[in-house]
Amino acid sequence: MSGKTYLSAVVSAALCFGMLAPAVAQEKPDASEKSSEKKANQPEADAQKTDAQKADVDKRYKALTRQAAKAYGAEQFDQSLELFAKAYALKQVPNLLYNMGRIEEKRGHFKAAIGHYEKFVTEPGVDIKARKDALERLSTLREVVALREKGKEVDEDKIQEKHDDRKLAEAKEVDEPAPMRVERDYTAAWITMGVALAAYGGAGYFALQARDANDEFANADTRTARRDAASTGETSSIVADSMLGLGVVMTGLGVYFFLSPSETEVPADQTAMQLTPQVGPEGAGMTFSVEF
């Protein structure tokens, strides 16, 4: 091959490569673009995954509670207790604690029943009838356990007879807590600004008194009148300056309190009432609180 022909072949190859390279680069996306696209889609993928997981948990929870209730109706208490415990592991629904306490009673495990009932009655938002029954059962079972520990015989059938018609509590989830809002208290700001305004008013009044005293001093005919006018003017000036200084200080405090008021979280509906049972080995009580 001659030198000229060889040079032509090299030039042709270079031109072909130059034309193909952009096409290849265009067909093959940049790795950084792929990474950016993947990151952009990640939140949506995570949200879909979370929704799917929540739906799966809800489905399993409902299936377990249905099976547990069915086993309880068939007096298969061991199986019912196991199923309710699995459901509670998925979702900490308070009514499940009541049901497990009820089953432990059926099995004659009174200490275990007391543990479930004690935890149940302190949970907020539970079934009212079930809570009342649990409090009654706590009192009875504690007496029974105390008698057992003293070596006295206890008629378990008689204990169950009075409450044998009780049903299980619904395994529904507790409502979500009421939305909270931040309430800002500007009371301190308004008070300090009011004091500042009063101080400015007082400063203005005594400044006028000082001016009048100065005029009286200039127009006085006797030494005594001049002395009295000078004394009055001096006193009024001092008071005016003091009240002006107080007004400036209180204004600064007022601005500070306006910019950083005290904040408290209150329910969005403005009024919240809550009954919180307090249960212990020595007895039970109830704490009632109201927030406006």
Average confidence (pLDDT) over 192-196:
93
23 found inside a domain: no
What is the Cα–Cα distance from 131 to 276, expressed in whole angstroms? 11
Token pair belonging to 224: 């005594």
* 180 part of a folded domain: no
Number of structural domains in the chain: 2
pLDDT tens readout for residues 156-177: 665 655 555 556 666 555 444 4
Other Cβ atoms within 10 Å of 88 Cβ, number: 22
CATH number of 149's domain:
1.25.40.10
In this model, does residue 234 exceed pLDDT 80?
yes
Q: What is the mean pLDDT of residues 227-250?
A: 91
Higher local confidence (pLDDT), 279 or 102: 102
At residue 7 the predicted structure's pLDDT band, cuts being 50, 70 and 90, is: very low
Domain residue limits at 206:
187-260
* pLDDT, position 14: 43
- Rounded to an integer, what distance in angstroms lies between the CA atom of residue 86 and that of residue 240? 78
- Mean pLDDT of all residues in 36-62: 75
Helix (H, G, I), strand (E, B) or coil at 106: helix
Of 243, 255, 252, 258, residue with least CA distance to 198: 243
User: Is the model's pTM score more than 0.75?
Assistant: no
Q: Do both 71 and 171 map to the same domain?
A: yes
Q: Are residues 65 and 168 in the same domain?
A: yes
Q: Which amino acid is at 144?
A: V
pLDDT tens track for 257-284: 888 877 776 555 544 444 444 444 454 4
214 lies in the same domain as 254: yes
Q: Which residues contact 58 (CB under 8 A, 6 or more apart)?
A: none
- Are 80 and 121 members of one domain? yes
The pLDDT score that the predictor gives to residue 239 is 93
Cα 230 from Cα 45, distance rounded (Å) = 85
* Same domain membership, residue 197 and residue 146: no
Which of 18-22, 57-61, 97-101 is the least confident region? 18-22
For residue 290, what is the enclosing H or E element? strand 283-291
Q: Which of 95, 129, 96, 97 is nearest to 112 (CA)?
A: 97
Tell whether 94 and 154 lie within a shared domain. Answer: yes
Q: Is residue 156 part of a domain?
A: yes
Give the span between the Cα atoms of 210 and 239, in whole angstroms: 10
Q: pLDDT at position 289, please?
A: 44
CA 46 to each of CA 32, 34, 49, 142, 279: distance values in angstroms, whole numbers, following the listed order: 21, 18, 5, 49, 42
Tell me how far apart the alpha carbons of residues 138 and 117 are, in angstroms, rounded to a whole number.
7
Give the model confidence (pLDDT) of 104-147 as tens digits: 988 888 899 999 999 998 888 777 887 888 888 888 888 888 88
**What are 84-94's pLDDT values in tens digits?**
999 999 998 88
Q: What is the radius of gyration, based on Cα positions, of the chain?
A: 42
